[in-house]
Amino acid sequence: MPLSTSLALISLFVAALGFGLLLRFWLSSRQIRHVAQHREQVPAAFAGTISLASHQKAADYTLAKARLGLLEMALGAAVLLGWTLLGGLSALNQALMQWIGDGMTQQLALLVAFVVLSGAIDLPLSWYQTFVLEQRFGFNKMTLKLWLVDLLKSSLIGALIGLPIAALILWMMAAIGNLWWLWACLFWMGFNVLLLVIYPTLIAPLFNKFAPLEDEILRSRVTALMQRCGFSAKGLFVMDGSKRSAHANAYFTGFGAAKRVVFYDTLLAKLSAPEVDAVLAHELGHFKHKHIIKRIVSMFALSLAGFALLGYLTQQVWFYTGLGVQPNVASANDALVLLLFMLAMPVFSFFIAPLFAQLSRKHEFEADAYAVRQTSAQDLSTALLKLYEDNAATLTPDPLYVRFYYSHPGATERLARMQGGASAAV
């Protein structure tokens, strides 16, 4: 029975991985073809506002990213097979077992070794993305030194936060019995809420400087807008995003009275005051429509389902053997099962990703509509166009690719909705 179940899992895993890969390659090739075909001409709706040079830069940037994406996809699938069916994770586990013996130290060492090795495998592509791809299009502002310092800092913070959490979850798995997953899930949710609270004030400042917004005119405009919309914020900040990248952004973060507004310096350099207002109003729209809370609640519901499934799979020998791992006979398999679950889940959850992308695009439309009511469609659309142009986001993505992946609607669709105003709103 376990043998046939494990064969069934192997087949299911390989089929899902293969089908997912085919689907991704097909979607990317559609995107590449579509963008390349529309490269020679600015779409009619933007003919007066976007130059041919900008349009072509956006096309080339999108194509370069899509091609790198193909490489990443192939590499990711090979690495995944290496860890699972080809026996990488099993070998790593055995080697550490011989070296350290069993127990909590070995399990933590397995997690650490896995994270370090996967990180090392991803590193060359991450370097290439920053120093070749982003560099070529003028977006990268990082030096190699800053990149290395960032890497060191995030590894240290990851270890400082991650190791105690991993140890605690492993302890729960061993000590609590059958319902460990429920407690682990509650703990995980609590930790995520804590992270949302401490990230803006404790972690983000380790990477960027946050200076109070000095510009008096902008300050009073933004404050007036927030009052009009019924918000109060602890502070308005400018972040030195230009330290790393020319891409521009703004966000509104935090809970209760601790809310703060953060503008990238790159955003303020590019937008006029009314346009900054419109972008902020869009962010406030996300809060007004409770998108953030909705997202957190749905992530929690998914986590609960995930932990419950994990709780069940921990007990199933076929889950290990079906993914190429020989479970330990005399000692705990908790770290192994956590890693296997993390590796195998995305192969299956990939197929429901479009649902979340669609929900996210719906939320973007709602936030746009809110911003239009509070400021003006004109300011929001010129602001968005500037951001699309500065970030070299293509105006002509493949519609099916958008449906599958895009968390934000394409520019054409978005501006059409805004300009349509109340009459087109549904």
Assigned token pair, 192: 């995520």
d(CA 244, CA 241): 6
Q: Which of residues 72-101 bind Zn ion (CB under 5 A)?
A: none
Determine whether 40 is an active site residue. Answer: no
| Least distance from Zn ion to the Cβ atom of residue 364, Å | 5
**Nearest distance, CB of residue 356 and Zn ion, angstroms:** 14
Given the complex with Zn ion, which of 262 and 338 has the nearer CB atom? Answer: 262
> Which of 46, 314, 346 lies closest to 180, judged by CA?
314
Please report how close the Cβ of residue 13 comes to Zn ion at its closest, in angstroms.
Answer: 36
Q: Which of residues 203-262 bind Zn ion (CB under 5 A)?
A: none
The token pair at 301 is 């519901």
Closest distance to Zn ion from the beta carbon of 243 (Å): 24
For the record, the structure tokens of 87 come out as 């026996």
Q: Considering the complex, state which of residue 173 and residue 367 has its C-beta at the smaller distance from Zn ion.
A: 367
Site stretch for Zn ion (CB under 5 A), options 126-134, 222-230, 361-369, 371-379: 361-369
Give residues 366-395 in contact with Zn ion (rule: CB under 5 A): 367
Q: Taking the complex as a whole, how short is the minimal distance between the CB of residue 216 and Zn ion, in angstroms? A: 27
**Window contacting Zn ion (CB under 5 A); options: 89-97, 188-196, 359-367, 395-403:** 359-367
Residue 368 a catalytic site member: yes
Kindly indicate which of the ranges 36-44, 90-98, 358-366, 375-383 contains the residues binding Zn ion, using the contact rule CB under 5 A.
Answer: 358-366
Of 321 and 382, nearer to Zn ion (C-beta) is: 382
Residue 261 structure tokens: 């507004």
Q: How far is the CB of 310 from Zn ion (least distance, A)?
A: 32
**CB closer to Zn ion out of 275 and 364:** 364
Number of residues engaging Zn ion in binding (CB under 5 A): 2
Name the active-site residue from 277, 283, 390, 398.
283
Instruction: Read off the amino acid at residue 27.
Output: L
Distance CA 338, CA 89 (A): 12
Annotated catalytic residue within 334, 364, 368, 379:
368
User: In this complex, which beta carbon is closest to Zn ion, that of residue 70 or of residue 296?
Assistant: 296
CA 21, CA 155: separation in Å to the nearest integer?
A: 30
**Stretch in the footprint of Zn ion (CB under 5 A) among 45-53, 54-62, 79-87, 362-370:** 362-370
Give the shortest CB-112-to-Zn ion separation in angstroms.
36
With contacts defined by CB under 5 A, name the span among 20-28, 204-212, 333-341, 363-371 that binds Zn ion: 363-371
| C-alpha–C-alpha distance, residues 385 and 270, integer Å | 11
Q: Which residues does the annotation mark as catalytic?
A: 283, 368
Q: Could you list the residues that contact Zn ion (CB under 5 A)? A: 364, 367
